[in-house]
Structure formats: structure tokens, C-alpha cells
Amino acid sequence: MKRMVEEDPQCVNARDGAGYRALQWAALNNRVAAATLLLDSGSEVDAGDNEGQTAMHWACVRGALPCAELLLRRGANLNAADSRGYVPLHVAAQYGHTGMIYHFKMRWNVDVDVTDLDGRTALHWASYKGFPDPVKLLICMDADIYRADKEGCTPLHWSAMKGKSEATHLLVQAGGSSVLTAVDVDGNTPEALATDKGHHSLAYFLHNQHKQLSTRDHFWTQKGMAVACLSLILGLMLGFTHYVMFASGVATMDVSLAFWSLVVLGSSSAGLYYMRRVSNADPGFVTAAALSSLRRGTRPSSAANDVDDRLNHSELWAGNWNQLCVSCKLVKPFGTKHCSMRDKCVARFDHYCPWMGNTIGKRNHRDFVVFLILESFAMVVAFAVAVVRYGEESPGEKYRNNTGILMFAAFDALTLLPVIMLTISQLVQVAQNVTTNELSNAHRYSYLKSSDGAFVNPFDRGSHLANIRAFFFPSKNAPLIDDIAAGLTTVTVDRTV
């Protein structure tokens, strides 16, 4: 090739029979050495083919990032549009090259909302093709999720029309009710287009999401089962008082039983106090502002100076797009998960508890476990007292009625069984310093896997006792983001090309 260039210097800009140039072929196949030779020999970096596509467009077809970076350093125009208005970013989105999109934004601060001749952005194309990672990244880059093209279609219209479920889920999570009710020029919502194209399961999902989002913030949706839980506990306390402590026809309690009965009522009352704390607490909501002091990763020397620091993160430079949250638009620390019911990311997310009407996370997990312990203890003691009372002799045996005691004992036992199982499960997890979410979804989290794929818990402090002590007796100024979780993502980033 070098000899050919020396013999005919003009060949570097010559077209083949189809109108393509040598630099385009080098870019398509990521031939950095060949592209360097062509550019050094006078090849025009922004020269287009018959459709106006440049070497940069071709590099984006196969995600040839090293060659694309070479072209950019040699002055390639990232905003060069072909005959259909496609810029390189559109092509990268059309072919699902998430890393290239990230590179263009972080190194060259590309405009993610630039449109083609039909008014479509990179997010439209990623949604149309159904690539979840580009969709996720573009949303977190603040791409306009509500922007309509010339047909009035938003990105959600296109993903619903093509039956792309993953992209649809992400767009709904990020856009909420507004994106679900958007209509195109013909008055069609995304749900209507999904139905029209035969994607009935996707249309059903969109319909249900619209219903759920419209009632998600209502009091009874958030706290309805918490009210039921409160009523259940109060009902057990009243039943214990009426049917066991002051049972009709049964002898007056002795001092010992009276003491344990008061313990039952005291433990139940303390449990209600902790229930209130759990229900009303901030479970550990994570925001971009809260993460600003926990910057991880090193800004590459050639990164654009005015890019969003939220995205300048080692996990993203490493291509771990699963750490992105499209609702909160942040990079989730390890152990953090987005709660769909509260629509916020929660540090050390354990689960959403409808009986508490709140998410269980870093800030209220201890109170939740204490609540379980207190109520389990109260129900065990109450059952024991009921059994003793049932067997007591009564001076007025013919007036004795044990039905109330039996009913209370049966109801107490039925309630106790699931509660004590949950309590034991939570205590085992506390001893291991692992959450319910991590145990249930360990296969999704790379930080819970060793090099050979076996489960490993990086949050384990070395012993059950150390884990229990740290859980029940945290330091007064304990950070929102677990120190171990912060340490997991501390790496040195070297992204020079």
C-alpha cells in the first residue's frame, strides 16, 4: 500500500467503482495503520461517498473506536451529515455501539439531540433498533426523551411499534406518564401503536404502567398495607388483653403471668414505635448531588472540559452500563438499586416492604429488623401465655369459655409463622452483611462473583459478629454510601488511544 501511494499520491482520494474511498474502507475495518498512512499522504478526512458518508460514518458502523479517534484528532467533523442527515452519532446508535457514543460525548462533547432530516435523534434510532445500553446511556446524557420527529413519534413510539421490550421499559421508567400519553400526528399513543403492530404483551405492559403510575403516589397505594399491618398488630394486642389476660371464667392471673403479659404489650408497643420510624424514614435515597463528593475514576487528559462529571466514571469507562439508572440519571454505587415504588435509588437496597409502606435500605434497615424482633418476641410470649391460661384451673369451671383463648392462639400462631421466618432470614443476612436483593439477584451483579463465577460477598467484614455489630451499632456519622461499596469502584482509568 505504501508503494502504491508513493507511485501515485493521488490514489489516496480516488474512488472505487461504487464511489467509496480507501480511507472509508480503512475506517470500516479499523485499520489504524492504514488510515494513518492515508491521512499522512493527503487523504481528505471528511471526504464523502455518493451518499455523503465520510470515513467517520463508516467507522461508526462497526464501532471502530481507535480509528474514529484517529480521524477526530486529524480534524474529522462529528457533525458532518450524509444525504439523509445522519451524523456519526446516529450511525453509532443505529448499530448499538454504546462505547462509541460514550466516547463521543466524553471526549468530544457531541450534541446528543442533533436530528436527521426526519427529525430523529440518536435516541430515536437506538429505541427503534431496541438496543438497551445505548438507550440507557443517551437518557442519562439528558437526551430529550419527549422529542417528536416529523411524524410526531417519540422514541417510545418507535420502540413500541417495533416491539422492543427492553428499550420500552427503560423509556417508560425514565419518562413516566407524560411519555406514555404522548400522541403522534395521527393521534396514536405508544400503546395504540404496539397493539396495532400485534405486540399485545407490550401493549398490556404499557397499559398497566399508565394505571400504576397514575396512582403510585396516592396515600393508599403507598401506605394502605401499612395501615393494615398497624390494624393487625393493634387487633392482636386488643385480642390478647380481652381474650387472654381478662378471659371470661378464668382465674385472675398470678404475678408471673401478669408480668409476661405486660412484656407482650410493651414489646408490641415498642414494635409500633419502630414501625413508625421505618415507615416515615428516608431509607437512604441516593442523588447525583450526594455522589458528587464520591468521584471515582480519573478524568482522561483528552476529555472535554465541559462534559457532565456525573458520567465521568470508571464504571462507564469500563463499559459497565448496568450501573446506570435512567430515572435518577446517575451511576449507582455498588449495593444501590432503584426502587420503582418510590422512584428513587436507595443505598444498600434490601426490598420494598408494602407492610411498612416504604423501601428498606441503608437508613432504616436496622429499625426494620428491630421491629421484626420485637413483634416476633411479643407473639411468641403471647402464644405461651395463652397456652398456660388455657390449662389453668378455674373456680367457676362451669362458666369457663376457652373459645376466645383458642381463637387468639390460632390467629397468633398463623401470624407468627411468616413473621418469624422473615425475622430469621433477615438476621442471617445481617450476620453475612448481604441484602435480600443481592441474594435474589446475585447473578446480575458482577461484584458478587469471583473470577471463577462463584458467589463472593465483598461487604463481609470478616466475621458474623463484626457484621452484626456494624449493623446494629453503626457510627454516628456513618456515610450514606457504604465505605466498602465506595472502595469497590475505585480504579485508575487509562483511556488513552
Nearest CA among 382, 381, 423 for reference residue 238: 382
> Which pLDDT value is given to residue 376?
98
Cell numbers that stand for 372 in this block: 421484626
Tell me the angle at which helices 255-280 and 219-239 cross, rounded to the nearest 10 degrees: 180
Catalytic residues: 353
Cell of 378: 411479643
Q: Rounded CA gap, 283 and 149, in Å?
A: 40
**Burial readout 47-62 (b: 16 or more C-beta within 10 A, e: otherwise):** ebbeeebbbbbbbbbe
Q: Cα(248)–Cα(341) distance, rounded to whole angstroms?
A: 46
Q: Which residues contact residue 9 at a Cβ distance below 8 angstroms, ignoring those fewer than 6 apart?
A: 41, 42
**The predicted structure's pLDDT at residue 291:** 81
d(CA 113, CA 27) in angstroms, rounded, equals 25
Instruction: Output 483-486 pairs: Cβ under 8 A, ≥24 positions apart.
Output: 484/458, 484/459, 485/333, 485/334, 485/335, 485/336, 485/347, 485/348, 485/459, 486/294, 486/296, 486/333
Angle value at C-alpha 495, between 490 and 497, nearest 5 degrees: 170
Tens-level pLDDT at each residue, the chain (497 residues):
788 888 788 888 889 999 999 999 999 999 999 999 999 999 999 999 999 999 999 999 999 999 999 999 999 999 999 999 999 999 999 999 999 999 999 999 999 999 999 999 999 999 999 999 999 999 999 999 999 999 999 999 999 999 999 999 999 999 999 999 999 999 999 999 999 999 999 999 999 999 999 888 899 989 999 999 999 999 999 999 999 998 777 778 889 999 999 999 999 999 999 999 999 999 999 988 878 766 544 444 445 666 777 888 888 999 999 999 999 999 999 999 999 999 999 999 999 999 999 999 999 999 999 999 999 999 999 999 999 988 876 655 555 567 889 999 999 999 999 999 999 999 999 999 999 999 999 988 888 988 888 999 999 999 999 999 999 999 888 888 866 665 554 433 333 33
Question: What's 2-215's CATH class?
Answer: mainly alpha
Kindly list the domain boundaries of the chain, sorted by start residue. 2-215, 219-286+351-488
Q: Note the pLDDT of residue 491.
A: 37
Mapped to the 3 state alphabet, what secondary structure does 391-423 carry? HCCCCCHHHCCCHHHHHHHHHHHHHHHHHHHHH
